[in-house]
Chain A
Amino acid sequence: MYSRPFHYHRAKSLAEASALLAQLGEGARVLAGGQSLIPLMKLRLASPAHLVDLNFIPKLSYVEKDSKTIRLGAMTRHTDIESSAVAQEIPILKDCAAGIADVQVRNRGTLGGSLAEADPSGDWGPVLLTLSTQVRAVGPQGERTIQLSDFFVDAYTTSLGPGELVREVVVEIPPKNSGGAYLAFKRCAPVYATASVAVQLTLGDKDICREARVALGCVGLTAIRPGEAERALQGQTINRTSIEAAAEAARAAADPQPDMRGSAELKRELVGVLVRRAIVIAVRRARGERVEGGHIYA
């Protein structure tokens, strides 16, 4: 299948890409990994008149760590995150990077592209919302930093302005007694998840939960942070009662739509199951255990 014809522009720098986008206007789209955009173009659900290719810009793919933060370049492929030393240290990043679609898609798809597309079923949104994450963007007005919670505005809509591009994603390293897990339920490898849950817990004295962050994917127009579920865990011992309260609150906060992946009831039920399982894995990881997480196939 062929997309509609388009003009191809190969940017040599982000500044050039940004200037091109500003100049070409509404008809121009950015080509990062292309694993969502190219299928959309082939189905003619998207028909940009111009594509600005970021793949030939040097030095946009990296995973770097200092004492407090991890910095990931916008064009870092999921595969490169999966195999990075940082993903070994912060297992929730590995859960996500190692399970997005399949090997071939992970070899092309990029972190910056995934965030900027803001697909309601995207994997990185819920994961990075449970960590303290900032997006560094460059645009015609220069560079700015956006909190990830302010970045997602609506389905397929971010707070990036015209001509503005993700340059880098900055993630705060969670404290030592913190653990996280990402679980996504999908029907088979290449498809989007039916429902997904990210949990990050920080334990204090006597294993009381000092801080809890929960995010739900695929069950709303953007990833959802269920505040009630987080409050059900914060300041509590993590046991059957608090886990069940969090799962119930998460089920209530989910706003699933029925589609080919499943009914609204199925998705809501999945949210509860995944929250329960993710909490258990997160607690064990916070205690230093090595436990498997990630994508679960039907």
Chain B
Amino acid sequence: MPETIPRVPIRVKVNGKDYSLDVEPRLLLVDLLREELDLTGTHVGCDTTYCGACTVLLNGASIKSCTVFAVQADQGEVLTVEGLAENDKLHPIQQAFADHHGLQCGFCTPGLLLSTLQLLAKNPHPSEQEIRKGLAGNTCRCTGYQNILKSVQAAAQGGRT
């Protein structure tokens, strides 16, 4: 009989909403979001800390949610792609990606949106090189990155992060 691992109570705020639940210690933050909270906008790509599809903000810092345990988000605040738009109005970064064809299949897009949000929060007017470095932790297999770059530049010129 395998030994029982006690679950751990956590409180976490996701997109402004409070949640209290008991989690298995090995539950990853991305699986908390997708499986327990039904927030499937955050994607699992490589599952090996490479591709950045699972990027969310934890306490204002972009992280790969496949490489953080849910118990570590206890007492914290998480922002996912579902928390970007206000009612039916897209966030300016989302609108810029839509306007400039910054996505094709869209699988990597939620992570790229959150990485862009992080970049522009710290550096509202990044150079091309700074954008490339700021998004280097997000892999896109479709676009060749040129239209992503244009989208981020447009979002930065929009002056809103």
Contact B5 A2 (CB under 8 A): no
What is the size category of the interface that chain B forms with chain A? 20 to 34
**C-alpha spacing A61/B50, complex, angstroms:** 26
Say if the beta carbon of B61 comes within 8 Å of chain A.
Answer: yes
> Which residues of chain A have C-beta atoms less than 8 A from B24's C-beta?
5
Count of chain A residues near B, Cβ 8 A: 32
A79 to chain B: closest residue by CB: B61
A108 to chain B: closest residue by CB: B63
> Which residues of chain B have C-beta atoms less than 8 A from A7's C-beta?
5-6, 25
Asked, given contacts A5-B24, A34-B69, A51-B25, whether A103 binds B50 with beta carbons under 8 Å apart, the answer is no
Contact A3 B26 (CB under 8 A): yes
Say if the beta carbon of A53 comes within 8 Å of chain B.
Answer: yes
Contact B69 A190 (CB under 8 A): no
**C-alpha spacing A191/B69, complex, angstroms:** 21
Contact B71 A103 (CB under 8 A): no
Say if the beta carbon of B161 comes within 8 Å of chain A.
Answer: no
1/0 contact trace for B59-73 toward A, CB 8 Å? 001111011110110
**C-alpha spacing A31/B25, complex, angstroms:** 12
Contact A103 B49 (CB under 8 A): no
Instruction: Find A105's partner among B5, B49, B69, B119 (CB 8 Å cutoff).
Output: B49
Q: Which residues of B contact A (CB under 8 A)?
A: 2, 5-6, 8, 24-26, 28, 47-50, 52, 55, 61-64, 66-69, 71-72, 115, 118-119, 133-134, 136-138
User: Can you add 10 more A-B contacts, CB < 8 Å, to A2-B26, A79-B61, A190-B50?
Assistant: A8-B25, A31-B69, A42-B48, A53-B71, A101-B137, A103-B137, A104-B52, A105-B49, A190-B136, A191-B50
